[in-house]
Amino acid sequence: MSAPAEARRLLREVFGFESFRPGQDAIVAAVAAGEEVLAVMPTGSGKSLCYQLPALMADGLTVVVSPLIALMRDQVAQLSALGVAAASLTSANDAGENRRILDDARAGRLKLLYAAPERLSRGEWLGDLRGTVRALAIDEAHCVSQWGHDFRPEYLALGQMREVLGPIQTVALTATADAATRDEIAARLFAAPPRIFVGGFDRPNLRLAMRPKGQGGGGVVDFVAAHPGDSGIVYCASRAKTEAMAAKLAAAGIKALPYHAGLDSAVRGANQDAFLAEDGMVMAATVAFGMGIDKPDVRFVCHADLPKSIESYYQEIGRAGRDGLPADTLTFYGMEDVRLHRLRIEEGGASDERKRVEHRRLEALLALCEAPRCRRQTLLAYFGETDSAPCGNCDLCLEGAKIIDGTMDAQKAMSAMVRTGQRFGTEHLVNLLLGVETDAIRRLGHHALPTFGVGAGGGRDHWRSVFRQIYASGLVTQDLDGPGGWRMTEAGAEVLRGRGTVALRAVPAAGRSKRGRAAAAAVAVDAAAQPLLARLKALRLRLAAEEGVPAYVVFADRTLIELATRRPATLAEMADIHGIGRAKLDRYGEVFLAAIAEA
C-alpha cells in the first residue's frame, strides 16, 4: 500500500521533502486510511511524520502523547515554522496560555495538540474534546512496557484516556521494542489488535566503534577534538563524571556543558537549550539526557563508560545523525563497568525473571564489544536481522580483526583462576600470568605456582582482552562481591579439560585508530563552498535567536549544505532544496537568497 497523492503533495509543499524515507510510505498510507497502527522504526527514520502528515490530510484534531516538555516544545516549534497549527499543553505554560490552547483545540483551529501522559491522566478537559479528536498518536510507546528500559507508569492509563475521547484512531510509535514489548504495547494501548509495522534496525550512516579503556588510540578528549565544530554527546556513568568530563573538554578548548538530574532545574534547562540552539556544542551527560533530544545534526555520540544494556546502547547512539548524514560513535568499556552494572541489577528491586533478562541484555552488549566480526552484523543479529552483510563502516570492518586460536590462552587464564582459588580479579591474574612479582603475589606464594609467568609472551592488554572475551563467551563468570573474583563455568571447565576450542580476536597493535575524521569529512562540503556555508550558519543562528527557537528549526544542516553547494539564485530554484517547503520559502527565502548573492 502506498500513500495517496495528497500525502505526497503535502510532503513536498509543507515539509520540503521529495520522497519518503524507508518505511514511511506504507505507514502513512495505513494511518491515512484510518487503521490502528503500531510502528517500530529506528531512531532518525522519521516516525513523527507518520502521524503529522495524516493529521494534515483529515478534519479534526490529533492529540500527541509525548513524554518530555523539551521534545514537545521542539516539535511544536518545527511544525509552526512549517505553517502547521500545533500547540502543546505543558506545565511550562501559564494557566491562561493553556486555556487559550484548549479553546483553539475545541474551535478546530489546531491540527496537532501535544501533551504529556501525566497531564492527560488528570485532564478534566478530555471530555470537552470528545468529538473533536480524530486520532491519538502515542510517541515513545515502549514507555508503557514494564519490561522496557524507560517505563513510565502514566502510560498505563492511556487506554482509559482513549475511551474518554471516544471511538478514535490510535497510532503508537517507538524505536525500541522486541516481540514481547510489541505484544505488551498492543494489549495496553489498543482496543483491538493493531496493524504492526517493524522497520529495520540498521542506521547505516552511523559509524560504530568500541575500544577497551586504557588500550591506546586516545581517549574521550582526543575523539571529541577530532570533530571540531561538531555537536555531540558524551555519555558518562555518574553525575560527578559528567561535570568532570565537561570541565576536561572545556580545558581542551571545546565548548562543553554538563547535564544530569542532580543539577538545578534552571541550569539543566539552560544547558539543554544551549546544546539545542548552538552549533559545535558538546554535552557531557548521564542517560538523563536522552529521550526527547530531537536535534538532527548531532555528529557524534561517545560513551565514556559502558551503557547498561544493548537496548540502551542502540537508543543512545541513535541520537547521532538523525538528519541522515554521516555520524560517528565510539564506546569505551572495561570489566569494572560490567561488574558495576551486574551489581546494580542484583541490588535492584526487580523480580528474579527481570534480573535474568537484564543480565542477558548486558551480556549481549559485552559480546558486541568483543565481537570478532562486523559490529553492525552482530548488533542487527541481536534484533533478529541475521541476513546483513559486513557494513564497511565500523572499526572491525575498517581496521580488520584478526581471529586466532585462543584455546591455549583461555586454558592458561582459567588455570590461573583455579590454582588461586577462583577468588582473584583481573589484574592479579594478569600479573601472575606475566610473571610480575607484586607484593600480593609474593605474600600469597603465587610466584611458586606452575602458572606464574606462563603468559610472559603476551602483553598486559592481551591478557585483559582474553579475560573479557572468555567472559563474553560464557566460559567464566565474575563474583559481584569484593574485587570481582573470576570463576570458571562448566563450559570453561570443558575447555580446560581439552574438550573444546576457543577462537579469540587478537588485540590490535598499539597506536592511533585509523578511523580518523572519515565520518565528519563525509559531511563537509568542498573547500569552495565552506565560506558560504559558514555565512549561512551565522545567518541561521541570528534568525533562530531572534525567534527564540533552536537553529535547526530554521533550516537543518543538510538544507544549508545544499544551499551552499547549489547556490540557488531564485525562489523557484530554492524551492527544490531539501527541507524547504512553502512556509519556510515564504519566511526565509529572500534573506537566504540575499546572503548567497552577496557571497
Let me know if domain 525-598 sits in CATH 1.10.1060.10.
no
Does residue 422 surpass a pLDDT of 90? yes
Can you tell me the distance from the alpha carbon of 299 to that of 328, in angstroms, rounded to the nearest whole number?
6
The CATH code of domain 403-505 reads 1.10.10.10
Q: What percent of the chain has pLDDT over 70?
A: 94
For the stretch 521-566, pLDDT in tens is: 345 568 888 899 999 999 999 999 999 888 899 999 999 999 999 9
Does residue 125 surpass a pLDDT of 50? yes
- Range 438-450 average pLDDT: 95
- Burial string for 342-376 (b: 16+ CB within 10 Å, else e) reads beebeeeeeeeeebebbeebbbbbbbbbbbeebbb
Contact criterion met (CB below 8 Å) for 355 and 345: yes
- Burial string for 187-199 (b: 16+ CB within 10 Å, else e) reads ebbbeeebebbbb
For the stretch 190-217, pLDDT in tens is: 989 999 999 888 889 999 999 999 766 6
Can you tell me the distance from the alpha carbon of 209 to that of 391, in angstroms, rounded to the nearest whole number?
12
How many CB atoms lie under 10 A from the CB of residue 550? 21
Residue 230 makes CB contacts below 8 A (sequence gap 6+) with 280, 299, 300, 520
For the stretch 155-178, pLDDT in tens is: 888 888 888 888 899 999 988 777
- According to the model, what pLDDT value does residue 481 have? 59
Let me know if domain 5-198 sits in CATH 1.10.3720.10.
no
- According to the model, what pLDDT value does residue 391 have? 92
| Domain locations in the chain as residue ranges | 5-198, 206-399, 403-505, 525-598
- According to the model, what pLDDT value does residue 538 have? 93
403-505 and 525-598, same CATH topology: no
- Range 112-121 average pLDDT: 87
Closest C-alpha to 204, from 326, 100, 335: 326
Residue scoring higher pLDDT (218 or 77): 77
For the stretch 288-301, pLDDT in tens is: 787 657 788 999 99
For the stretch 573-588, pLDDT in tens is: 999 999 999 999 999 9
- Range 34-63 average pLDDT: 93
Does residue 390 surpass a pLDDT of 60? yes
Can you tell me the distance from the alpha carbon of 260 to that of 305, in angstroms, rounded to the nearest whole number?
15
Does residue 356 surpass a pLDDT of 90? no
- According to the model, what pLDDT value does residue 523 have? 58
For the stretch 269-326, pLDDT in tens is: 899 889 988 889 999 999 878 765 778 899 999 999 999 988 889 989 999 998 889 9
Q: Architecture of domain 206-399 in CATH?
A: 3-Layer(aba) Sandwich (3.40)
Can you tell me the distance from the alpha carbon of 203 to that of 45, in angstroms, rounded to the nearest whole number?
9
DSSP-assigned beta bridge partners for residue 259 = 285
Does residue 491 surpass a pLDDT of 50? yes
Does residue 515 surpass a pLDDT of 60? no
How much is the mean pLDDT over the chain? Answer: 89
- According to the model, what pLDDT value does residue 518 have? 39
